[in-house]
């Protein structure tokens, strides 16, 4: 169905993930360090990447940073570490999701399926009049999946687009972090803290002063809303 790149220096892990993914008829490409991963990524039509953070030669952070220069494919980080700083680090360089080793195979497959659904939806072009959401200087074009801020095209990832589309489609409505995660990732709220990181990245793209946001506001103790 889809081409998935699995990157980890532990061959037992890549082999196990390969078995899980092939059970869903996905094609699997394997790499054991960041340099090898970039070579495969450049040659093959990859639809999703599952990658470890700690690897020889080139770590996962540097590898994903390089991938994000040319691609918006979904990326899921794997790591033996569970500290919040590692999650934030990975998400800030462009990962869409994060799963900690050891992981439940069914949870991993749920994350993979959710990421692929989002990416497929993001990549499709709607064959009808373009739907546009516009609030103040922020404009989303749903056909082309583009973001414009004060008329300027701003690069946005599929996850960021879906979060922004959800909030802009329901102006002034407050969504909890768990609700945003479940609606955007389309799975139970495994890692709701990732929402906060993505919100911060969106603010950096749409707000003049992200520390004093005009549009994307926090409602303390409840969640977030897009102010109309």
Each residue's pLDDT expressed in tens, for the chain with a length of 228 residues: 899 999 999 999 999 999 999 999 999 999 999 999 999 999 999 999 999 988 888 989 899 989 988 888 899 998 876 656 666 777 777 788 888 888 888 989 988 988 888 777 655 543 444 578 889 999 998 877 889 999 899 988 888 998 999 999 999 999 999 999 888 887 777 777 788 889 999 999 999 998 899 999 999 888 999 998
Residues 13 and 114 in one domain: yes
Last residue of a domain, one of 92, 123, 154: 123
d(CA 97, CA 78): 9
Last residue of a domain, one of 91, 123, 155: 123
Domain that holds residue 201: 132-226
3-class state of residue 190 by DSSP:
coil
Last residue of a domain, one of 123, 149, 179: 123
Residues 33 and 101 in one domain: yes
Beta bridge pairs of residue 148 = 139, 153
pTM check: above 0.75: no
Residues 12 and 33 in one domain: yes
What CA–CA distances, in Å, run from 89 to 1, 45, 97, 193? Answer: 31, 26, 12, 13
């Amino acid at each position: 169905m889809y081409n998935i790149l699995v990157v980890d220096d532990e061959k037992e892990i890549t082999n196990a993930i390969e078995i899980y993914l092939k059970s869903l008829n996905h094609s699997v490409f394997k790499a054991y360090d960041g340099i090898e991963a970039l070579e495969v990524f450049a040659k093959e039509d990859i639809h999703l990447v599952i990658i470890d953070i700690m690897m020889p030669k080139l770590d996962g952070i540097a590898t994903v940073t390089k991938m994000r220069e040319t691609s918006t494919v979904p990326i899921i980080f794997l790591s033996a570490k569970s500290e919040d700083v590692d999650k934030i680090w990975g998400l800030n360089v462009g990962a869409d999701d994060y799963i900690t080793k050891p992981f439940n195979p069914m949870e991993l497959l749920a994350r993979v399926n959710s990421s692929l659904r989002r990416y497929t939806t993001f990549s499709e072009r709607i064959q009808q009049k373009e739907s546009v959401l516009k609030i103040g200087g922020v404009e989303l074009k749903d056909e082309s999946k583009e973001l414009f801020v004060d008329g300027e095209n701003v690069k946005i990832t599929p996850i960021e687009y879906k979060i922004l589309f959800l909030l802009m489609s329901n102006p002034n409505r407050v969504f909890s972090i768990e609700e945003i995660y479940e609606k955007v990732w389309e799975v139970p709220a495994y890692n709701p803290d990732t929402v906060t990181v993505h919100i911060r990245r969106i603010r950096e793209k749409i707000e003049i002063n992200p520390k004093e946001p005009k549009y994307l506001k926090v409602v303390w103790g409840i969640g977030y809303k897009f102010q109309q």
